[in-house]
Amino acid sequence: RPCSRVFSGIQPTGVPHLGNYLGALENWVALQNQHPSVLYSIVDLHSITQPQDPTRLRSNVMDMAASLLACGVDPERAVLFQQSQVSEHAELSWILGCLTSMPRLRHLPQWKMKSKLKNEGSVGLYTYPVLQAADILLYKSTHVPVGEDQVQHLELAQDLARIFNNRYGDLFPEPRALLSSTQKVKSLRDPSAKMSKSDPQTMATITITDSADDIALKIRRAVTDFTSEVTFDPQTRPGVSNLVTIHAAVAQITVEAAVQQARGLDTGGYKKLVSDAVVQRLTPIGQELQRLRSDPAHLQEVLLQGTRRARELAAPVLREVQQRVGF
Ligand code: ADP
Ligand code: NA
């Protein structure tokens, strides 16, 4: 795909969990080898749409950079950068915001959810899907790996590309979604909910820095059911099925093959097998993350280089936009 360009962003919200890794980051690593031009952004502008602490934000950005590198993002193949350091994002966002109607944003599910939770929301929270559209369009991106929860936001980016092109002449390709094929990883304590960093229960979530002992303990305590045989049926047996999903994903085998390997094991025995597979997958990542954390100067340099390259791509596009708008 010679003309493709991939863009994706992740908020700097601390060390990623197993769901982030299997649902998003693993795919980021694959995409950097399949597409000639790939950009991954640590989207810190998005992080300040909700109450935040500056010291924490700064360290979270570094932690996310280290995490992405540890997971296999390769700065030689992907432009890895910090969104706030490329001011073109905010500038394009303003222009796109002027092409966006209020009702179009009001109906987006994340606004409804998050503003209700806080009982109010900032203008930034309300318009952050416009900033997301700017993130994507600024690089004339063609492919955007997203979770299902972000599909409606990508549709806004598609709409804004179309609206801009109609008003000011063709400039932006319509970005297409690349949906992850991996099943959602569920909470180990409540398999009806997805594994999430906002889960207050630490036993529910495996992070990529968990020790082998932590992982074994969390999986041993994972909620299953009263049937000892291992089968895959997410509807009636969400707990055991979640373990099968995790096993298949970390071992990079099919669900059928994972169930096959569980033959003759009860859920207790299977938990041991699953935790060994998770440990095997995460241990090198965790070790690499610790190594990267110990060298903040190197991390800074990687981000600086990435930011420089991102600006080189962003600046001419923004200039073209400004000209068409009449600036
Ligand atoms: P969280 O729910 O922990 O806040 P985010 O919403 O920041 O995670 O998601 C970051 C990326 O990780 C998105 O691409 C999202 O689809 C993916 N992701 C998050 N949680 C899971 C999960 N439990 N299983 C699979 N993918 C997930
Ligand atoms: Na989330």
Domain extents for the chain?
A: 6-183+296-325, 202-290
Global ipTM = 0.94
Annotated catalytic residue within 118, 184, 197, 272? 197
Average pLDDT over residues 216-245: 97
> Is the model's pLDDT at 258 over the cut of 60?
yes
Atom of ligand 1 nearest to the CA of 24: 14
> Which residue has the least CA distance to atom 6 on ligand 1?
196
From 3.40.50.1000, 1.10.240.10, 1.20.1440.130, 2.60.40.10, which CATH number describes the 202-290 domain? 1.10.240.10
Atom of ligand 1 nearest to the CA of 195: 23
The fraction of the chain above a pLDDT of 90, given in percent, is 88
194 is a catalytic site residue: yes
Name residue 146's beta-bridge partners: 179
Within the chain, residue ranges assigned H as helices are 18-20, 26-34, 44-47, 54-71, 88-97, 102-106, 109-118, 123-137, 151-168, 212-220, 238-251, 255-261, 267-293, 296-325
pLDDT band at 2 (very low <50, low <70, confident <90, very high): low
Residue 122: predicted pLDDT: 87
> Is the model's pLDDT at 116 over the cut of 70?
no
Average pLDDT over residues 49-67: 95
Nearest-ligand number for the alpha carbon of 24: 1
> Is the model's pLDDT at 320 over the cut of 70?
yes
Inter-CA distances, 135 with 35, 129, 138, 307, Å: 18, 10, 6, 13
Residue 119: predicted pLDDT: 58
pLDDT band at 111 (very low <50, low <70, confident <90, very high): confident
29: left (phi over 0), alpha (psi -120 to 50) or beta: alpha
Task: Give me the chain's average pLDDT, please.
Answer: 95
| Ligand 1 centroid, distance to 18 Cα (angstroms) | 9
Q: What residues have CB less than 8 Å from 141, skipping those under 6 apart?
A: 5, 6, 7, 39, 173, 175
Nearest-ligand number for the alpha carbon of 22: 1
Residue 269: predicted pLDDT: 97
Superfamily of domain 6-183+296-325: HUPs (3.40.50.620)
Ligand 1: residues whose CB is within 6 Å? 10-11, 19-20, 22-24, 147, 184-185, 194-198
Query: pTM of the predicted model, to two decimals?
Result: 0.94
Average pLDDT over residues 264-290: 97
Residue 265: predicted pLDDT: 96
> Comparing 113-127, 201-215, 263-277, which segment has the lowest mean pLDDT?
113-127
Give the DSSP letter of residue 173. -
Structure tokens given for 51: 């109450």
114 is a catalytic site residue: yes
Name residue 10's beta-bridge partners: 42
> Comparing 2-6, 10-14, 75-79, 204-208, which segment has the lowest mean pLDDT?
2-6
Inter-CA distances, 144 with 56, 85, 176, Å: 28, 21, 6
Atom of ligand 1 nearest to the CA of 20: 12
pLDDT band at 118 (very low <50, low <70, confident <90, very high): low
Average pLDDT over residues 159-177: 98
First-to-last CA distance in the chain? 34
